[in-house]
Structure 1
Amino acid sequence: MVVTLQLRQIDVQPGQYLTLREISWAEFEAVLEELGEHRASRVAYYQGLLEIRMPSPEHEVDKELIGDMVKIVLDELELDWEPYGSTTFKRSQMAAGVEPDTCFYIQNARQMIGKRRLDLSVDPPPDLAIEIDVTSKTQLSAYVALGVPELWCYGGGKLQVFVLNQTEYVEMETSPTFGNLPVIEGILQFLQFSLTEGSSTARRAFRQWVREALAQ
C-alpha cells in the first residue's frame, strides 16, 4: 500500500531536517509552491534528493550576526554588494536547487541591482553564500552544480571557507573576497564576544576592529 502525505501534515522540528528521495524536478517545484515564500524552513535539492530543514533559534542568531559582520566588512572596504538572503537558487538543467542561510552578490553586484526575479540560466549565482551547521552532501552538491564560487560553513565554533575549483570545493585559510584582512579570525572572535556582551555590542566592536585592521 502506498501512503501519500501532504507537506502540511508533516512537522519538522527546529534543528532537524526531512529527507525525501526520488523527487522529480516537477515535484520539487510543486513543493516550493506549497511551502510558499514566507516560511522559516530551507530546502536543498540535488538530482532527486530533497531536504527540508527547520533552523533552530541558535542557528538563526549565528546566521544574522555572521551576515551582519560580512556587511560591515563590505561597507568598510567600500565594496558594492547586493544581499539576497535565503533566495531560492535553482537550475533545472543541473537538477539542483538550494536556499542559503544568507548570500551576497559582490563581484557581480552591479548587474544584480534592481533584480527581483532570478534565472540562473542567464544570471550568475551569488558570489558568496553562507551556511550554518551544514550536515549533508545534498547542500554542497547543489552549490557545486549551481557554480557558487565561495561558500562559508559555520558550525562547532569553526568558520570554514571553501572556494569552487571546477567540480569541487577546496578549503582555504582566508577568504579571497577580502584579501589580506583576517575576516574569519575576526568574525569568530566577535561571535564569541557576543555570547557575553550581546549582538549589538559585538557588531559595534567588530566595526571598530575592522577599521583598526584596515588602518594598519
Structure 2
Amino acid sequence: MVTLQLRQIQISPGQRLDLQDVSWSEFEAILQELGEARNIRIAYSDGKLSIMSPLPEHEKAKVLIGDLVKILLEELNRDCESFGSTTFKRQDMAKGVEPDDSFYIQNYARMIGKGRVDLTIDPPPDLAIEVDLTSKTQTEAYAALGVPELWRYDNGRLQVEVLRQGQYVEMAESPTFLGWPIAAMVTDFVARSGVVGRSQAVREFRVWVRRFLAGAR
C-alpha cells in the first residue's frame, strides 16, 4: 500500500478530492496537519472525506453574502455570533463540515465568548452558508448535525433550504428573516457587486434594507 502525505497532494482551485474509508482518527489527524490557516474546506461523513479548494469567485461571493447577513441583522437590531468556517463535528455521528460562513442568531447568547464549539453540548449554527455546494458529503453532514437553515448559492442563485425530518427542503422564505425576499435579495446584490464592486453593492444594500423597513412600517 502506498502512503502519501497531505503536502504531496495538490488540489487546484475549483477541484475536489474525495477519499473513502477514512477513520475518525485519520480525519482528526488531517485537520491537525492542515491547520486553521488554510483556504480549503473539509467535509466528513461516515468515512467519506471531501477536500475542496475554492475558486477566487467563490471566496468573493461567500464574503459578500456574509456581509449582507451582518448588515441585515444590524439594521434589524438583532444580535448574532459569527463563527465563519469553523469545523463543526461530532465523533459519535461520524460527521464533520466546514461552512463558508455560519451564524448563531437564535442561539447567539449561548455562544458568546466561546473559543471552541463542542456539538455534544453546544447547538449547531442557526444558519450556514455554502457557495457552489456540490458534495453530497457536505449536505449529509449538515443534516445529521441538525443545522436548521442552509443557504446554498450556486450558479448565480441563492436557495434557502430548511431542515425538515432530516432532509433539506427549499423554501420560498427564510424562517430566520420572515417577510424578507432573501433569495432574490441576495442573488440580486451578489450580481450587482459584479457590476459596481463589493463596496458600492454593500452600501446600496444597506440603503435598500432601510427603505424596505420604512415601507414595512
TM-score calculated relative to the size of structure 1: 0.98
| Separation (CA, whole Å) in 1 of partners of 2:50 and 2:56 | 19
* 8 Å Cα contact 1:67/1:102 also seen in 2: yes
The more displaced of 161-170 and 87-96 is: 161-170
Aligned residue number for residue 24 of structure 2: 25
- State the shift of 1:192 in Å: 1.3
- State the shift of 1:170 in Å: 1.0
Aligned residue number for residue 188 of structure 1: 187
- State the shift of 1:166 in Å: 2.4
Tell me the percent identity: 60
Spell out structure 1 runs of 4+ moving beyond 4 A. Answer: none
* 8 Å Cα contact 1:159/1:184 also seen in 2: yes
| Separation (CA, whole Å) in 2 of partners of 1:170 and 1:183 | 15
Aligned residue number for residue 150 of structure 1: 149
Aligned residue number for residue 120 of structure 1: 119
- State the shift of 1:26 in Å: 0.7
The more displaced of 183-192 and 52-61 is: 183-192
Within 5 Å, give how 1:1-216 maps onto structure 2.
Answer: 2-216=1-215
Residue 99 of structure 1 aligns to which amino acid in structure 2?
A: E
Residue 144 of structure 1 aligns to which amino acid in structure 2?
A: A
| Separation (CA, whole Å) in 1 of partners of 2:190 and 2:167 | 28
Residue 190 of structure 1 aligns to which amino acid in structure 2?
A: F
Q: Mind listing any 5+ residue stretches in structure 1 that lack a counterpart?
A: none
| Separation (CA, whole Å) in 2 of partners of 1:141 and 1:187 | 25
Residue 133 of structure 1 aligns to which amino acid in structure 2?
A: D
Q: SS where residue 39 of structure 1 aligns? A: coil
| Separation (CA, whole Å) in 1 of partners of 2:183 and 2:113 | 30
- State the shift of 1:183 in Å: 2.3
Residue 32 of structure 1 aligns to which amino acid in structure 2?
A: L
* 8 Å Cα contact 1:43/1:51 also seen in 2: yes
Residue 52 of structure 2 aligns to which amino acid in structure 1?
A: R
* 8 Å Cα contact 2:12/2:53 also seen in 1: yes
Residue 183 of structure 1 aligns to which amino acid in structure 2?
A: I
Alignment length (residue pairs): 215
* 8 Å Cα contact 2:50/2:135 also seen in 1: no
- State the shift of 1:105 in Å: 0.2
- State the shift of 1:118 in Å: 1.1
| Separation (CA, whole Å) in 2 of partners of 1:206 and 1:71 | 11
Q: Mind listing any 5+ residue stretches in structure 2 that lack a counterpart?
A: none
* 8 Å Cα contact 1:181/1:214 also seen in 2: no
Residue 81 of structure 1 aligns to which amino acid in structure 2?
A: C
